[in-house]
Amino acid sequence: MSPVIQLLLLTCLVISGAGAGEEEIQVMSIHEVLPQFGLPSGLFPNSVKSFSMDKDNNFELKLRSSCTVDFDYPLLYDSSIKGTFRYGSIIELEGIQLERFRMSFEITQIRVDLPPTKNIYFHIMFMLFENSLDIDQFMTVRSCSRYVSGRLSQKQVQEVTSRVANESYEDAPEKPAGWEVSANADADAS
């Protein structure tokens, strides 16, 4: 059965299951829903406590606790994750960060190529940056390890960068004695 037909059947199932005035309904597990939207089933860890999705494909996922899964780059999962499914992507994503250079960057969208290729893309918040990883590592649902603190979040990085950019050189402390470099350093050494 084609993915489009599967998605239509899933949508019909979700809509027909909603009672009058019922905004949110329980559906399959997140790991069963992901492939229905053309996404790999291992995108989220196995520590899911609850999953709900409304008729507009907005979802909320609760994990037992915040945690990390090591792919090519570690993904940091908050205990609450929200987003909206579209075929081949998750948009308006909240609650997942990608770690690079000992800093974590908020992921706002995840997408795959259509037709499918070997890549999955992570859009980083506040940046025109997209990181692609090999999709094969997301095909299996993985265990989550304890969330490691001590990393700088994207917000913290922005605050530090802003403070540094706004500091003037007049506010800088004087250089300690011996920090001056002579133009004739080689001549002074002899």
Domains of the chain: 3-161 (2.30.240)
Q: pLDDT tier at 59 (50, 70, 90 boundaries)? A: very high
pLDDT at 46: 92
Which string of DSSP letters, residue by residue, matches the chain? --HHHHHHHHHHHHHHHPPTT--EE--S-HHHHHHHTT--GGGS-S-EEEEEEETTSEEEEEESS-EEEESSSEEEEEEEEEEEEETTEEEEEEEEEEEETTEEEEEEEEEE-SS--SEEEEEETTTTEEEEEEGGGGSS--PPEEPP--PBPHHHHHHHHHHHHH--GGGSPPPPTT----TTHHHHH-
Mean local confidence (pLDDT), 170-189: 46
pLDDT at 82: 97
pTM of the model: 0.63
- Residue 166 pLDDT > 60: no
pLDDT at 5: 42
- Residue 38 pLDDT > 70: yes
Summary mean pLDDT of the chain? 74
